[in-house]
Amino acid sequence: MSPYKSSQCNLPIYTLRVLNSKIYVVTSPELISAVNRRSNALAFNPFVAQLGKRITGHDEPTSTIVQHNLNGETGPGYVVDLHDRTVTALSPGKHLEAMTTIFLEEAWSYLNPLGAGNVIDLFAWTKHMVTMCSTRAIYGPKNPFNSNPGFVHSFWDFDHDLNILIADVFPKFLAPSGYKARSNIAAAFAEYFGQYDAEKAQSSAMIEARFRTATQYGLTLSNQGCLEVGTLLGILANTIPSSFYMLVRLYTDQALLNDIREELEAVAVDVSPEGTRIINIMAVRESCHLLNATWQELLRVHALGVGSRYVREDVLLNDQYRLEKGRVVQMPMAVLHSDPNVWGPDAHEFRPRRFMKQSDTAPMPKVNLPGYRPFGGGASMCPGRHFVTLEVLALAACMVLRFDIVPVEGDWQIPVQKQESMATNVFPPKSDIKVKITRRQEDQEVNWKFKMR
């Protein structure tokens, strides 16, 4: 449903009839709050069971394990236990900071060679760099992407064909590139888990939790590999376009770029006695309010996916709207994030300061949380949101402090997004931007490092 359609009809909920079924499209923040409150009756986990096998290609016995006790009604289950352990591993704290440290250590090897007038395709560079650094931080040095960097392209072949794979109609023939990529990556991760030793792997707490849960529930190595392909969607498919658009938005607006550089220098950069400039990553996260507001606004404008729930029992939503068991509820971000009733008359403008206090004495602006859903909401809030936020903010801070970036041809343009798969919220650009990267004039002889705190 388009934002135009919603603004013309201005209804809080619609029923779309699709063949013999119905889809309920919710566009009202008030009703989305009601959906969040009914997380047992309107559940996300059934989609794991319904679509998971089509996404990852795992076998029927694994589907039985995945589907057992999906919502925790009768005690433990694979999905419930895995979710809880993943939330613990990715919550703010030592595990999250350890992952971010490794991510930036790897990123430094990509940033240091830049600045001599390098000409790169910005999305292609971001895609390769973020993939290699993220997988190293999460899986350790012996991960399949480190062994075979060609998997970077394979992953995006898989993502590009994902909608056809989900349709599950002769996928081997109608989506040969995605099907082959999925099979090859799954086989590589099966081998990775076959040799996995938590004490030697140097992997993240999240992967230790995934391996422990898979072993506990008796998943075979081949199916662990299949399920890990689905995990990569969460690790890479949104993070990479988000990182790209963050850089584009910052360098497109010179006034915003200047203000953020000034903010970073004031609260997040220390200078050692030797003159080394040190970026404090947690200060970037906690004290750089304009940079954080830009990240929030980027997600409002560029997160265009759809949140879905399965109706497990008849529900009278908000004591007014009857939802039938077995149907689907969808909550389109593109509508919610561009609604003038939620965001004001400038809803279609990119204005980061809407997320900031307007003065030192003014209260923080009230964000309509049900109408802001880049990471979902309620019980199904994305557990990886803290890591991707640190990744994107840290990368943005390192880039804007060290480098100037300009398009090789013409002025900056914001590339239109292209919906690649229904499993993605921040879609990649339809076209890349060829840019020239130089070290900032005042940074020619500066040595840079980072620290977490």
Write the DSSP string, 418-431. ----TT-SBPPBSS
Average per-residue pLDDT for the chain: 93
pLDDT of residue 362: 64
Q: What is the CA radius of gyration of the chain?
A: 22
Tell me which residue of 178, 85, 87, 119 sits closest to 387, measured CA to CA: 87
Least confident interval from 29-33, 41-45, 297-301, 366-370: 366-370
Q: Which long-range contacts (CB under 8 A, 24 or more apart) does 12-15 make?
A: 13/317, 13/321
pLDDT of residue 10: 76
pLDDT of residue 3: 42
Question: What is the secondary structure of 273-330 as a DSSP string?
Answer: TT--EEEEHHHHHHH-HHHHHHHHHHHHHHB--EEEEEE-S-EEETTTEEE-TT-EEE
Band the pLDDT of 368: cuts 50, 70, 90. low
Q: How far apart are CA 158 and CA 175, in angstroms?
A: 9
Q: Would you state the structure tokens that stand for residue 123, as one six-digit string?
A: 């999305």
Band the pLDDT of 160: cuts 50, 70, 90. very high
Tracing tokens 């990775």 back to the chain, one arrives at 192
Residue 155 has pLDDT above 70, yes or no: yes
Mean pLDDT of 173-183: 97
* Residues contacting residue 183 through CB under 8 Å, at least 6 positions apart: 57
Q: Would you state the structure tokens that stand for residue 294, as one six-digit string?
A: 């830009």
Q: Would you state the structure tokens that stand for residue 271, as one six-digit string?
A: 């200078």
Residue pair 295/306 in contact (Cβ under 8 Å)? The answer is: no
The CB density around residue 2, as the number of other CB atoms within 10 Å, is 11
- The string of pLDDT tens digits covering residues 319-336 is 999 999 999 999 999 999
Q: Would you state the structure tokens that stand for residue 84, as one six-digit string?
A: 């809880």
Question: What is the secondary structure of 11-63 as a DSSP string?
Answer: -SEEEEEETTEEEEEE--HHHHHHHHHTTTTEESHHHHHHHHHHHH---HHHH
Report DSSP state, residue 441.
G
**Cα 134–chain centre separation:** 12
Report in angstroms the alpha-carbon separations of 84 from 55, 223, 380, 402: 22, 21, 11, 39
Q: Would you state the structure tokens that stand for residue 234, as one six-digit string?
A: 């969460």
pLDDT of residue 159: 95
Least confident interval from 1-5, 355-359, 367-371, 372-376: 1-5
Q: How far apart are CA 280 and CA 27, in angstroms?
A: 40
How many CA atoms lie less than 13 Å away from 77 in the CB half-sphere?
A: 20
Tracing tokens 């909608």 back to the chain, one arrives at 163
Residue 207: phi, psi to the nearest 5? -75, -35
- The length of the chain is 453
Q: How far apart are CA 3 and CA 197, in angstroms?
A: 49
Residue 41 has pLDDT above 90, yes or no: yes
Residue 231 has pLDDT above 60, yes or no: yes
273/422: higher pLDDT: 273
Report DSSP state, residue 217.
T
Strand ranges across the sheet with 328-332: 13-18, 21-26, 328-332, 306-311, 42-43
Kindly tell me the sign of the dihedral angle through the C-alpha atoms of 135, 295, 254, 445.
negative
Q: How far apart are CA 302 and CA 319, in angstroms?
A: 33
- The string of pLDDT tens digits covering residues 98-118 is 999 999 999 999 999 998 899
Q: Would you state the structure tokens that stand for residue 330, as one six-digit string?
A: 């969808």
